[in-house]
């Protein structure tokens, strides 16, 4: 899709990390932006930085009614969403399943699966009617490869991946593209959130290696969106050079 002042890009989780970096990149094309997240101050600061029309939306995407209402009441100039970047999400905890907090599990399911579902369902009828649109979902390598402590987080991202492939299958011929991007380790607020504000623990995740940056993933998001309309990147898996999938583990007694 050619990205221009006639394009509207809706980004969830725009207050931080990939979402904020993607907003900065899309703004260079002059697009109209809808910036959604829960933290209004962050969204307002981002809007002030950007030289394009921005609609700031305080939205907790776990709230099904609020999501439907937010999409249904977008100001006219922002109502025809061309690109939805379904980015908002989180991991909570790294405990083994027998010791994990069920509230954490609920929050990941409610945000990463249900919130992403609600946003997708709200935006699709307009895209299908206009025969124009692109849903870009942010999955994770955690949805593809298992690791200890990845339990429900990885499960939510496996949902994002299969949901994206199913959408792609049923949107065939309707002019709507679907992409899932699956990043590996990236130094954003992700680990700070996962470890509930413990900066020391978050720092150890990226110690002694070079993680991806938010801008690296923003570049991927922007690249898949900017490709000509006849090109659909289905899945894009991206890791830091210093991360790889290590294969099977064996326990010996
Ligand atoms: P950040 O924590 O920096 O950003 C997460 C964003 O999600 C924030 O803008 C936050 O905004 C928003 N968010 C969280 N909960 C909600 C909610 N209930 N309603 C609306 N918005 C919400 O992390 P990243 O940028 O790294 O993460 C973005 C996505 O990428 C996530 O889906 C994550 O799972 C995924 N990912 C991250 C990787 C990494 O290593 N960093 C790797 C692979 C995937 P606010 O708090 O203001 O609501
Ligand atoms: C985030 C990537 O490897 O920390 O989704 O789970 S990882």
Total tally of structural domains belonging to the chain = 1
Provide mean pLDDT across the span 38-64. 98
Is residue 244 one of the residues assigned to a domain?
Answer: no
Is residue 250 one of the residues assigned to a domain?
Answer: no
Is residue 33 one of the residues assigned to a domain?
Answer: yes
- Note the pTM of the prediction, 2 decimals: 0.98
Residues 171-230 pLDDT 10s: 999 999 999 999 999 999 999 999 999 999 999 999 999 999 999 999 999 999 999 999
CB 116 less than 6 A from any atom of ligand 1: no
Is residue 196 one of the residues assigned to a domain?
Answer: yes
Q: What is the CATH number of the domain that holds 146?
A: 3.40.50.720
Ligand closest to Cα of 145 equals: 2
Residue 177: closest CA among 209, 218, 141, 223? 223
Mean pLDDT of the chain: 98
Please give the number of the atom of ligand 2 that sits closest to the Cα of 191: 4
Is residue 200 one of the residues assigned to a domain?
Answer: yes
Percent of the chain with pLDDT over 90: 99
Domain that holds residue 87: 8-238
pLDDT at 96: 98
Residue nearest to atom 5 of ligand 2 (CA): 140
Is the confidence at residue 247, as pLDDT, over 90?
A: no
Is residue 2 one of the residues assigned to a domain?
Answer: no
Is the confidence at residue 1, as pLDDT, over 80?
A: no
Is residue 249 one of the residues assigned to a domain?
Answer: no
Is residue 245 one of the residues assigned to a domain?
Answer: no
Ligand 1 centre distance from Cα of residue 78 (Å): 23
pLDDT at 97: 98
């Amino acid at each position: 899709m050619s990205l221009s002042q006639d394009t509207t890009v809706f980004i969830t989780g725009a207050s931080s990390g990939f979402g904020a970096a993607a907003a900065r990149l899309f703004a260079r094309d002059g697009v109209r932006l809808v910036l959604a997240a829960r933290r209004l101050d962050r969204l307002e600061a981002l809007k002030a930085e950007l030289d394009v029309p921005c609609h700031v939306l305080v939205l907790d995407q776990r709230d099904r009614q609020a999501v439907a209402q937010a999409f249904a009441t977008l100001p006219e100039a922002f109502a025809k969403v061309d690109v939805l970047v379904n980015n908002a999400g989180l991991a909570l905890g790294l405990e083994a399943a027998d010791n994990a907090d069920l509230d954490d599990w609920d929050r990941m399911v409610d945000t990463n699966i249900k919130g992403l579902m609600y946003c997708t369902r709200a935006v699709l009828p307009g895209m299908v009617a206009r025969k124009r649109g692109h849903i870009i979902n942010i999955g994770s390598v955690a949805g593809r490869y298992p690791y200890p402590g990845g339990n429900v987080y990885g499960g939510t991202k496996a949902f994002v991946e299969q949901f994206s492939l199913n959408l792609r299958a049923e949107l065939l011929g309707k002019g709507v593209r679907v992409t899932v991007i699956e990043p590996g380790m990236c130094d954003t607020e992700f680990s700070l959130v996962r470890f509930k504000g413990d900066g020391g623990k978050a720092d150890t995740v990226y110690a002694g290696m070079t993680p991806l940056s938010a801008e690296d993933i923003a570049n991927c998001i922007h690249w898949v969106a900017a490709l000509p309309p006849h090109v659909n990147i289905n899945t894009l898996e991206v890791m830091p050079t210093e991360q790889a999938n290590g294969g099977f583990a064996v326990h010996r007694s």
